[in-house]
Structure 1
Amino acid sequence: MIRTVETTPYSDQKPGTSGLRKKVPVFQQANYAENFIQSVFDALAGFSGQTLVIGGDGRYYNREVIQKAVAMAAANGFGKVIVGQGGILSTPAASNIIRKYKAFGGLILSASHNPGGPNEDFGIKYNIGNGGPAPEKITDAIFARSKTISSYRIADIGEVDLDQIGTFEAGGMTVEVVDPVKDYAELMESLFDFDAIRALFRRGFRMAFDAMHAVTGPYAKEILENRLGAPAGTARKCVPLPDFGGHHPDPNLVHAKHLYDEMMGADAPDFGAASDGDGDRNLIIGRGIFVTPSDSLAVLAANAHLAPGYKGGLKGIARSMPTSAAADRVAEKLGIGMYETPTGWKFFGNLLDAGMATICGEESAGTGSDHVREKDGLWAVLLWLNILAVRKESAKEIVTKHWQTFGRNYYSRHDYEEVDSDAANRLVSQLRERLPSLPGTEVAGLRIENADDFSYRDPVDGSVSKNQGIRVMFEGGSRVVIRLSGTGTAGATLRLYVERYEGSRLDLDTQEALADLVRAADEIAGIRRHTGRDKPSVIT
């Protein structure tokens, strides 16, 4: 039986760069999740009888919303739903399943790297048929519909058994519960030289992978230990928990400090890595060296040909605007295209689909390639392992040699979290007004060469995205970028990105190398004055 349920709109269902994210109690409001899911379906067309993929990162409220989504998919005319066993699917694994089985699209239930629990974060994101996040024209349509919705459709199918792999009928629709790891593991085996990586572990190579009690635990256990022969215990915290064990599942130097400390210790493993809540981010730490996401993108692009899946070379490299220009130098040497996009993985989709880019990356620990249409944390770790196995050098040696070849982009991100939204918007607004007067002036001993609010014209479809981040460029190639993040759920997150290029001085302390730029950014934007903060919440 299909029911039509009357509802009233919520005014706050505008998707951000990665879908709709709110606190769990917000999603638990009457009809809140149902309204958004119905708004997604109402913004789409042509899916009657088609397949929808559903899965999430296992966070609190994941199973409950999956039950709603399956019942609503049946009522709205989908012919089949593919759902991960236990409601589990990493974001890149969901993208792969959408692509492999030619699904119409998918609902990914996650708030990525944000904390989980009864009073923490939850999210819903719609991915289109290429496996990637919905573009702005679709998210805009979803938001528009959410403001006028008056009813939603749901089938009375009872509770779906998410724990039993198999296929069954529900409400006239086929439901297939699948092993969440199998298809993804097979994809990884097609891209990388598993024999070379197995040999690496047989030589006594030691690795520490922290799954942070998040979604990549089962994937890491199966691939690293079962298929690649890494010793038991290489993959840690492998059981996904609704509250991620009470920890913040963000693989950065604050929330994974224990791994950093271990990798800097006297008896450190050879290689350390971690992934986040939904498996799309990565942290790379070699023995004695933290590899910034920007440097990791550049190193992976320069060495990707060592993996079987990329031996033919790269078609191009794409990076988000705030990401350092380290990868630009690799693209220049390889003679391939380099694309600078706004923040948000959805902006890479057209480039990948058009065959213009092969590897993409964001400074926020996201790296991936054309194998799926999402960033992919475990993919990045496996490519690093492939490179280490072939080059037979340490991560520190590989990065040092990369700097000697290309120079070094000293780079850091300063996050001011849960800032008063009005204060953050006022800072950005006033800075925008000052942009035309900044070029030619001097701040903190640095001369400003140019300043703008980044605008992007998609080279494939010609669409334009404006106001994507304020850039202040200084003579000599240094720059600072200021933007508001779209991934938080409380207040505003102000991000400051700071970058300096050095061709020969390769062993400076990063924060010391950037200190004058940080002072300049505060003087230009009035960060302390507007936010009341003496220092950032997180520095990465």
Structure 2
Amino acid sequence: MHVVASHPFAGQQPGTSGLRKKVTVFQQPHYLENFIQAVFTAVPALVGATLVVGGDGRFFNLQATQTIIKMAAANGVAKVIVGAGGLLSTPAASALIRQRHAAGGLILSASHNPGGADGDFGVKFNSANGGPAPAAVTDAIYAASLEIDSYRTVASADLELDKLGSQQIAAMQVEVVDPVADYAELMASLFDFAAIARLLAKPDFKFVFDAMHAVTGPYAEEIFTRRLGLPSQQLLNCQPQLDFGGGHPDPNLAHAGDLIAALAGVGEFALAAASDGDGDRNMVLASELFINPCDSIALLAANAHCVPAYREGLAGVARSMPTSRALDRVAAKLQLPCYETPTGWKYFGSLLDAGKITLCGEESFGSGSDHIREKDGLWAVLFWLNIIAVRGLSPRQLLAEHWTEYGRDFFSRHDYEGLPSDDARSLLADLHQPSQPLVGRRWGALTLLQLESFTYTDPVDNSRADKQGLIFTFEDDSRAVLRLSGTGTSGATLRLYFDRYSSDSAQYWLAPQQALAATIAAISELLQLEQRFGRHHPDVIT
């Protein structure tokens, strides 16, 4: 074992999705090593235990994997399980932690952020339940990073990470596993693969999947082509690349041009889907129809009886606070508990571990269930295919049926990216303590009835999370939510979420921006973003 002298780096506080910085930041001498040592210091349960390691294959993934393995050996870890080539999707890593009873996992990803030498990189520690570490653990990691004066590693040649099987480094065993096999088996145990295969074989049904040159490519090839018989030409961009093919591995309408083009001219009985950099997010499209993630999780819950794993019923459901209230309406009709949590999958993990919920989702293209403790992109796509196979309805027909029964919650998110961090924080501070009353005043065509800062108390452990976003409620019961995102690496990303309910069937097929126009205009006048930041419109609208 070698002890290497070091010094603290500023800003190594993990967010909801771990530590994310530019690749060039992680490449600084001792930077990655410091953070990994802080993890080992803060999580003593890793000594003598098993650690899962893998990532989304972006630039710096392999080098970081080798560094982590050597440091694990020096810090008393008994065994490391690593995906071949250093690859593991985030859902697969969560499943592997749970299946192998590991003490935790280190997942190397910056999710949907751009890759490449000039792109982003990230490291996230997941706990023994397979989910993102709770605040107490991330706080301890950050505290350790502030006091570090050295880190431990071993002098060893790099391991052969493309060779399946066991290897040894110092006193530690390293098992290189197929990153796809166990996850594919888990999916086969949840869904009716025979019914999905019959659906994909129908000449009048078209399915296309875009892996966006990210980690889900090998998973899609194994599941959709080898197990379900989908022609390989209906899979797009399935070769993982260090820079995601120069694209942005974010499954939304702004970045999925190949998928949208593949749907051109296809009939109504069609489905297309994409996943993000590390495989935990999903976008689902039908012909000329974007299926909003808020509608998606609500429809999955309403049709869960179609899927073998959920046929016996759901314990409950949960959504993040910015997500529309469509899921609440399904829960009310099915008489299920429905929880509203802050943004961040770790809050769902507490409810899942306690058996309070079975399905959960958030507006940022994430949905999942109690099978793991992460959001799961391919799981959501298979869920949709299973429902279509059983119901025999097109996605458009399923949505029309759903809205007829429950009404429609129009939803949109507006992202303002790369804002000066101090100015963005100043905006939120001003709103928490406004100099003049905002409630009761008319903004645009709407009167603001309530302004609240969302606070959450976990019903399992009574932990409290304050200032998780500002909720503006208007006279027509429409909402706007304002929060700062913790997933960017440059400046601040301000996110605005809008939702409005309608039970008027004549409105159901309106474009969301049209249906939400009054609420968007009211918030624009109230926040004065153009005057504050010089931004005439959002960078991304979803």
TM-score by length of 2: 0.98
Pairing 1:181–2:183 present: no
Correspondence 1:345-424 to 2 at 5 A? 345-424=345-424
Per-residue deviation at 1:101?
A: 0.5
Distance in 1 (CA, whole Å) between partners of 2:270 and 2:435 is 46
User: Which stretch of the first structure deviates more once superposed, 108-117 or 471-480?
Assistant: 471-480
Evaluate the alpha carbon distance shift between residue 285 and residue 417 of structure 1 in structure 2; reply closer, same or farther with a 3 A threshold.
same
Per-residue deviation at 1:397?
A: 0.4
What amino acid is aligned across from residue 419 of structure 1 in structure 2?
L
Per-residue deviation at 1:257?
A: 3.1
Distance in 2 (CA, whole Å) between partners of 1:285 and 1:425 is 35
The answer to whether the 8 Å contact 2:269/2:395 transfers is no
3-state SS in 2 of match to 1:351 = helix
Match of 2:129 in 1: 130
Match of 1:524 in 2: 526
The answer to whether the 8 Å contact 1:279/1:377 transfers is yes
Per-residue deviation at 1:384?
A: 0.3
Correspondence 1:446-525 to 2 at 5 A? 446-504=446-504, 505-525=507-527
Distance in 2 (CA, whole Å) between partners of 1:341 and 1:154 is 39
Evaluate the alpha carbon distance shift between residue 455 and residue 236 of structure 1 in structure 2; reply closer, same or farther with a 3 A threshold.
same
Distance in 1 (CA, whole Å) between partners of 2:432 and 2:533 is 17
What amino acid is aligned across from residue 188 of structure 2 in structure 1?
E
What amino acid is aligned across from residue 434 of structure 1 in structure 2?
P
Match of 2:283 in 1: 283
Distance in 2 (CA, whole Å) between partners of 1:136 and 1:350 is 12
The answer to whether the 8 Å contact 1:436/1:451 transfers is no
Correspondence 1:108-507 to 2 at 5 A? 108-204=107-203, 205-263=205-263, 265-266=265-266, 270-434=270-434, 437-504=437-504, 505-507=507-509
Per-residue deviation at 1:365?
A: 0.1
3-state SS in 1 of match to 2:46 = coil
3-state SS in 1 of match to 2:398 = helix
User: Which stretch of the first structure deviates more once superposed, 453-462 or 268-277?
Assistant: 268-277
Distance in 1 (CA, whole Å) between partners of 2:264 and 2:333 is 32
Distance in 2 (CA, whole Å) between partners of 1:513 and 1:70 is 52
Evaluate the alpha carbon distance shift between residue 477 and residue 85 of structure 1 in structure 2; reply closer, same or farther with a 3 A threshold.
same
The answer to whether the 8 Å contact 2:315/2:355 transfers is yes
User: Which stretch of the first structure deviates more once superposed, 261-270 or 238-247?
Assistant: 261-270
Unaligned runs of 5+ in 1: none
User: Post-superposition, which runs of at least 4 consecutive aligned residues in structure 1 deviate over 4 A?
Assistant: 266-269
Cα shift readout 1:510-535 (whole Å, capped 9, x = no counterpart): 11111111111122222112221000
Correspondence 1:47-66 to 2 at 5 A? 47-66=46-65
The answer to whether the 8 Å contact 1:481/1:496 transfers is yes
The answer to whether the 8 Å contact 2:267/2:287 transfers is no
User: Which stretch of the first structure deviates more once superposed, 530-539 or 261-270?
Assistant: 261-270
The answer to whether the 8 Å contact 1:207/1:269 transfers is no
Distance in 2 (CA, whole Å) between partners of 1:483 and 1:528 is 17
Identity rate of aligned residues, in percent?
Answer: 55
Distance in 2 (CA, whole Å) between partners of 1:120 and 1:268 is 38
Match of 1:539 in 2: 541
The answer to whether the 8 Å contact 1:225/1:234 transfers is no
Evaluate the alpha carbon distance shift between residue 268 and residue 27 of structure 1 in structure 2; reply closer, same or farther with a 3 A threshold.
farther
Distance in 1 (CA, whole Å) between partners of 2:173 and 2:443 is 63
Distance in 1 (CA, whole Å) between partners of 2:140 and 2:96 is 25
Cα shift readout 1:182-241 (whole Å, capped 9, x = no counterpart): 000000000000010111122222211000000000000100010011122222111110
Per-residue deviation at 1:269?
A: 7.1
Distance in 1 (CA, whole Å) between partners of 2:78 and 2:436 is 55
Per-residue deviation at 1:288?
A: 2.6
User: Which stretch of the first structure deviates more once superposed, 276-285 or 428-437?
Assistant: 428-437
The answer to whether the 8 Å contact 1:6/1:150 transfers is yes
User: Which stretch of the first structure deviates more once superposed, 104-113 or 42-51?
Assistant: 42-51
Per-residue deviation at 1:434?
A: 2.2
Distance in 1 (CA, whole Å) between partners of 2:266 and 2:389 is 23
User: Which stretch of the first structure deviates more once superposed, 40-49 or 241-250?
Assistant: 40-49
Distance in 2 (CA, whole Å) between partners of 1:269 and 1:58 is 34
What amino acid is aligned across from residue 232 of structure 1 in structure 2?
S
Unaligned runs of 5+ in 2: none
The answer to whether the 8 Å contact 1:78/1:173 transfers is yes
Match of 1:96 in 2: 95
The answer to whether the 8 Å contact 1:262/1:268 transfers is no
TM-score by length of 1: 0.98
The answer to whether the 8 Å contact 2:500/2:516 transfers is yes
What amino acid is aligned across from residue 90 of structure 2 in structure 1?
T
Distance in 2 (CA, whole Å) between partners of 1:291 and 1:303 is 16
Distance in 1 (CA, whole Å) between partners of 2:146 and 2:515 is 48
Correspondence 1:18-57 to 2 at 5 A? 18-57=17-56
Distance in 1 (CA, whole Å) between partners of 2:459 and 2:528 is 35
The answer to whether the 8 Å contact 1:92/1:376 transfers is yes
